[in-house]
A and B are shown apart, each in its own frame.
Chain A
């Protein structure tokens, strides 16, 4: 097992998981000396009836202070301040966030405002600005992908001042993450697949990146094995509660791994593709993941090779010669993408050219690839990538991922 010269690891979030984990919320709140939560969510989540499930599960045990389902796709300062007022007006003492990344970001922002009585949230952005525990925050993810239930960052946009405020502190970590199979049971197959592959990319990049460490590695290995073992079953049988719960656990484990060990070139390019062309993050991740691994092979083929064990199981791992395991792991992920493509009637794209929007229009035109490569240079994930990435490197990777041909590794600089 790999032990780096130095590492730090921390994941202070209490996990409550199961088929009736929601019912444990009142007790968890009581342990945090709270009992009047503000529930924060978005229209999509409440429209799907998930908030009703949460409310039904907890209403006998707690006194719900208020419920707000107006979090927009993009977190914004105005909404944060508005929800803080709702919190105060209803004398809430804690927050329950039900949803995905933007709901969690918003909830974390609200928590800073109500805990610190902040009139200007900006004062609390940046490292080390928060000095003490905030109000109790319980999060309930409704997709199995982002891992934001265990991350210590939040981004809130101030649309009036055109500012993007980033917050990072251990105090932003939720106190409790609730993983309940009911929350993801109705997720459509294509979204189930792309979010699961998002989690897969977190785990794989954490395991193969520069900041890997034994704790992150252990979390990543468990995540990869859960996702690899369960994703296709769940796509074929969406009401598989066990499989759903396994994917939710995989996403959280992957979140713990990457929030400590960070990610690399796959995320740098994926973020750029997402912001330039609006491609859903998970779709970018699943497409780019094998390319990123290929690109980094000169530096970390041995680590990539080790991933064949959790991906494919002990039999395949042992029967593959050691020097071919990295290629085996990459091929396995490509095959997963193909299998998902088949299982979702072709809705899961295998390469960037294939990504279509709702109207069937191609989302990533070839002429945007240069701009994507340029934008990737500004992404912080590249710090943690084992191999150097300049503009030409990014362009080479994104072109291959656009066409769907494996990377020609002889073209990588310095090989």
Chain B
């Protein structure tokens, strides 16, 4: 096991997962000294009856709660300000975000302002500018994730925030909330988790704590993804939500990798789900970095394929075999969905001209430290479906 000379790790998130998890909410809020939560969600989730399930979990508790179910796809400062007034006028003292993506981003931003730290969000946009704990914040996931939910990050329009105070105090994963979704959503959620974990697990800055979360999450994804797409397997859905939770925690404690950055930009520019782009890019980028200084690509084989193959593979072939496994997995997912999940950026409908734009935007904001040529090589190969380093000359295991 690789051991860095120095590392830091922090995860303030409590996880409650499984049967009747929602019903523990009143006790959990009480432990956080909260009496009146504001539930934040969007129309689609409310329409599925999921908010009724949460309200039902509070029966007998005597708790009154505020409910806002109008989160738009792109929330803005004006809405946050309006909700701050609602929160204060109705005497709320905590937030429960139900659903992924924009709902959580807005809930995090709202939590900053209602905690008065400060009311003007622009002052704390950036790295580690929130200096004090916020009000109790609970996250109840559904089946659709962007991967930022349990992380230290949030975005609101042009503003982005990074602080461990933005991580939820509690994540409540209840099987009743993890509804069966279409393959696109499932694969996107799972591939974001896999990509974040694979990058955390192989990057030079890895440490035993992020390894722990990443290892468990990758196992959950590789063991369950196919079943969930095929049959909507209930326990598998719960496992994927667990994986996504852990992935956000590993992601928060690792540098952002190339799969994340390129995949995110590709998603933004093409309008495809971010996880679909990350899923396509993942093996290409791992392959591109296979011999890069300080990367731990061979370690990947054990969590994703298991001890039998790991023990039976020579040391110098472990990395290649792991990457092949991910290519194989992509093909499986592609076959199960009868081609619904694309294998290449080209199949996904991204034009070749857009690649320059994706690479440029990724490199453009400077903080990533990637160079344009590297990004272009990867994107072009992933567009065509051509292995980056002339292919992995390895007998493909079956």
Using a CB–CB cutoff of 8 Å, the interface residues on chain A facing chain B are 1, 3-12, 14-21, 24, 31, 33, 128, 131-133, 170, 213-215, 217-219, 221-222, 225-226, 229, 242, 245-246, 249, 253, 309, 314-315, 317-319
Residue of B nearest to A14 (CB): B10
18 A-B residue pairs with Cβ-Cβ distance under 8 Å, sorted by A, are A1-B220, A1-B223, A3-B238, A6-B20, A7-B16, A8-B15, A17-B7, A170-B31, A214-B242, A214-B246, A221-B215, A249-B3, A309-B307, A314-B302, A318-B307, A318-B308, A318-B311, A318-B312
CB pair B9–A131 under 8 Å, yes or no, is no
Residue of A nearest to B308 (CB): A318
A214 CB contacts on chain B under 8 angstroms: 216, 220, 242, 246
CB A59 to nearest CB in B, in angstroms, measures 20
CA distance A17 to B133 in the complex (A): 23
15 additional A-B pairs beyond A1-B216, A3-B17, beta carbons within 8 Å, are A1-B239, A4-B18, A7-B18, A10-B15, A15-B7, A18-B6, A24-B8, A33-B131, A170-B14, A217-B216, A219-B212, A253-B208, A318-B307, A318-B312, A319-B311
CB A258 to nearest CB in B, in angstroms, measures 14
B1 interface residue, CB < 8 Å from A?
Answer: yes
CB pair B246–A215 under 8 Å, yes or no, is yes
CB A241 to nearest CB in B, in angstroms, measures 9
CA distance A63 to B365 in the complex (A): 40
Tally B residues with Cβ within 8 Å of A.
49
B13 CB contacts on chain A under 8 angstroms: 10
B48 interface residue, CB < 8 Å from A?
Answer: no
CB pair B33–A314 under 8 Å, yes or no, is no
CA distance A309 to B235 in the complex (A): 25
CB pair B9–A14 under 8 Å, yes or no, is yes
Query: Could you mark each residue 234-248 of chain B with 1 if its beta carbon is under 8 Å from any beta carbon of chain A, else 0?
Result: 010011001000100
Contact of A249 among B11, B18, B208, B310 (CB under 8 A): B208
B252 interface residue, CB < 8 Å from A?
Answer: no
CB pair B18–A1 under 8 Å, yes or no, is no
CA distance A249 to B16 in the complex (A): 25
CA distance A322 to B251 in the complex (A): 35
CA distance A20 to B4 in the complex (A): 12
Contact of A7 among B9, B17, B30, B213 (CB under 8 A): B17
CA distance A16 to B308 in the complex (A): 34
Query: Could you mark each residue 250-275 of chain B with 1 if its beta carbon is under 8 Å from any beta carbon of chain A, else 0?
Result: 00000000000000000000000000
CB pair B6–A21 under 8 Å, yes or no, is yes
CB pair B19–A315 under 8 Å, yes or no, is no
CB pair B133–A133 under 8 Å, yes or no, is yes
Which residues of chain B from 110 to 159 have any CB-CB distance to chain A below 8 Å in the complex? 131-133
CB A93 to nearest CB in B, in angstroms, measures 15
Q: Taking each of B10, B19, B33, which has the highest tally of chain A beta carbons within 10 Å of its own beta carbon?
A: B10
CA distance A18 to B235 in the complex (A): 39
A219 CB contacts on chain B under 8 angstroms: 212
B57 CB contacts on chain A under 8 angstroms: none
CB pair A1–B219 under 8 Å, yes or no, is yes
CB pair B19–A6 under 8 Å, yes or no, is yes
CA distance A12 to B12 in the complex (A): 4
Contact of A5 among B18, B33, B216 (CB under 8 A): B18
B5 interface residue, CB < 8 Å from A?
Answer: yes
CB A276 to nearest CB in B, in angstroms, measures 36
A226 CB contacts on chain B under 8 angstroms: 1, 208
Given contacts A8-B14, A12-B11, A222 and B208 within 8 Å (CB-CB): yes
CB pair A215–B208 under 8 Å, yes or no, is no
CB pair B9–A15 under 8 Å, yes or no, is yes
Q: Taking each of B6, B12, B239, which has the highest tally of chain A beta carbons within 10 Å of its own beta carbon?
A: B6
CB A222 to nearest CB in B, in angstroms, measures 5
Which residues of chain B from 1 to 47 have any CB-CB distance to chain A below 8 Å in the complex? 1, 3-21, 24, 30-31, 33
Using a CB–CB cutoff of 8 Å, the interface residues on chain B facing chain A are 1, 3-21, 24, 30-31, 33, 131-133, 207-209, 211-213, 215-216, 219-220, 223, 235, 238-239, 242, 246, 302, 307-308, 310-312
CB B228 to nearest CB in A, in angstroms, measures 13
CA distance A404 to B119 in the complex (A): 67
A12 CB contacts on chain B under 8 angstroms: 11-12, 14
Residue of B nearest to A10 (CB): B14
Residue of A nearest to B235 (CB): A3
CB pair A215–B15 under 8 Å, yes or no, is yes
CB A112 to nearest CB in B, in angstroms, measures 16
CB A227 to nearest CB in B, in angstroms, measures 11
A18 CB contacts on chain B under 8 angstroms: 4-7
CA distance A249 to B208 in the complex (A): 8
CA distance A245 to B14 in the complex (A): 26
CB A257 to nearest CB in B, in angstroms, measures 10
CA distance A10 to B209 in the complex (A): 14
CA distance A18 to B132 in the complex (A): 26
A213 CB contacts on chain B under 8 angstroms: 17
CB pair B11–A6 under 8 Å, yes or no, is no
CB B344 to nearest CB in A, in angstroms, measures 31
Q: Taking each of A213, A215, A221, A318, which has the highest tally of chain B beta carbons within 10 Å of its own beta carbon?
A: A215
CB pair B31–A15 under 8 Å, yes or no, is no
Given contacts A14-B10, A217-B216, A218-B213, A6 and B15 within 8 Å (CB-CB): no
B17 CB contacts on chain A under 8 angstroms: 3, 6-8, 213
CA distance A31 to B165 in the complex (A): 12
B9 CB contacts on chain A under 8 angstroms: 14-15, 17
CA distance A413 to B242 in the complex (A): 38
A132 CB contacts on chain B under 8 angstroms: 33
CB pair A317–B311 under 8 Å, yes or no, is yes
Q: Taking each of B18, B19, B216, B235, which has the highest tally of chain A beta carbons within 10 Å of its own beta carbon?
A: B216
CB B51 to nearest CB in A, in angstroms, measures 22
Q: Taking each of A17, A31, A170, which has the highest tally of chain B beta carbons within 10 Å of its own beta carbon?
A: A17
CB B390 to nearest CB in A, in angstroms, measures 29
Given contacts A1-B219, A18-B6, A225 and B31 within 8 Å (CB-CB): no
CA distance A315 to B30 in the complex (A): 49
CA distance A215 to B131 in the complex (A): 28
CA distance A164 to B230 in the complex (A): 56
CB pair A222–B212 under 8 Å, yes or no, is yes
CB pair A229–B1 under 8 Å, yes or no, is yes
CB B133 to nearest CB in A, in angstroms, measures 7
CA distance A33 to B238 in the complex (A): 39
B310 CB contacts on chain A under 8 angstroms: 314
CB B35 to nearest CB in A, in angstroms, measures 12
CA distance A1 to B222 in the complex (A): 10
State the 3 A-B residue pairs at the shortest beta-carbon distance, nearest first: A18-B6, A6-B18, A10-B14
A222 CB contacts on chain B under 8 angstroms: 1, 208, 211-212, 215
CB B279 to nearest CB in A, in angstroms, measures 21
A1 CB contacts on chain B under 8 angstroms: 216, 219-220, 223, 239
CB pair B238–A253 under 8 Å, yes or no, is no
CA distance A133 to B18 in the complex (A): 28
Given contacts A1-B216, A12-B12, A132-B33, A314 and B1 within 8 Å (CB-CB): no
CA distance A165 to B121 in the complex (A): 45
